[in-house]
Amino acid sequence: MNVSKKILFSTLLGGLFLSLELSARTPIILIDPGHGGDDCGAKSYIKAKEREVCEKELALEISLKINKLLKKNFQSYLTRTMDRTISLDDRAQMADKVAADYFISIHLNAHENPHAKGLEVYYLDNHNNIAVHKIERVENKDLKGEIVVINQILADLVIERTAPVSKGLAQSIHKGLVSSVKKAFAQSDRGPKAALFYVLALSKRPSVLLEAGFMTHLQERELMADPRFQDKFAEGVANGITAYVKKNYKF
């Protein structure tokens, strides 16, 4: 184990002792716009913008809207507010820095099948679903070899502590999205699912990863670039988080 792995290991273990108990204070939420800077994420030509658009760009647009809505009721922060490169470790460390109670990562999906479409809400858990593994490979592509194995072991420890809260939060956000974008835009819905995303495990707190839709789907990518859809999507996420907090916090 080299120095950077040792740091990673101790950072992750340190966070295992964070309190998950209900509190009288309002929770702190960290919104994580996926990718950024050198990392474009998925890329597609968007007719409305008349150019190729990266996942990182739409993820930021949606995240800024979510953050604006959450700020009305909570302390809410973003891992990035502009187009800049930021590692998975940096994102996780930011969760410690702001003492986030929840970590919400925003992404847009891609698939070799151009007909694949629909929103997805993932929470951190162990599973054996091949389709989900495939998506993980895309979102986890920055990590390889030994580091993946170490992260996998540590992820198990984090999962044990956080999975029930992550699942409840994911279900509530999913419900919020069903009554916002599914209702307003008849968007397909692939439901809440368990998955193993390292950025979620590294955050060491209850966390959810959203895939707003597929950049590889001709109509859905135009929809996701539409500010009206982004507003509704943000509204669904914020409502879902608020509903979960109201149920679980005494404030």
Q: Which member of 41, 176, 192, 236 binds Zn ion (CB under 5 A)?
A: 41
- Least distance from C-beta 245 to Zn ion, angstroms? 26
- Judged by CB under 5 A, does residue 221 bind Zn ion? no
What is the C-alpha to C-alpha distance for residues 144 and 122, in angstroms, rounded to an integer? 22
Task: Pick between residue 105 and residue 187 the one whose CB is nearest to Zn ion.
Answer: 105
Kindly state whether residue 240 participates in binding Zn ion, applying the rule CB under 5 A: no
Is the Cβ of residue 197 or residue 244 nearer to Zn ion in the bound state? Answer: 197
CB closest to Zn ion, residue no: 107
- Interaction between residue 205 and Zn ion (CB under 5 A): no
Shortest separation between residue 138's beta carbon and Zn ion, angstroms: 7
Question: Is there binding between residue 236 and Zn ion (CB under 5 A)?
Answer: no
CB of 20 to Zn ion, least distance (A): 27
Binding mask 81-110 for Zn ion (x = CB under 5 A): --------------------------x---
Give the separation between CA 248 and CA 201, rounded to whole angstroms. 22
80 binds Zn ion (CB under 5 A): no
CA dist., res. 233 & res. 245, Å (int):
19
Using rule CB under 5 A, residue 34 touches Zn ion: yes
Residues in the chain: 251
| Nearest residue (CB) to Zn ion, 34 versus 36 | 34
State the number of binding residues for Zn ion (CB under 5 A).
3
Chain residues that interact with Zn ion, rule: CB under 5 A: 34, 41, 107
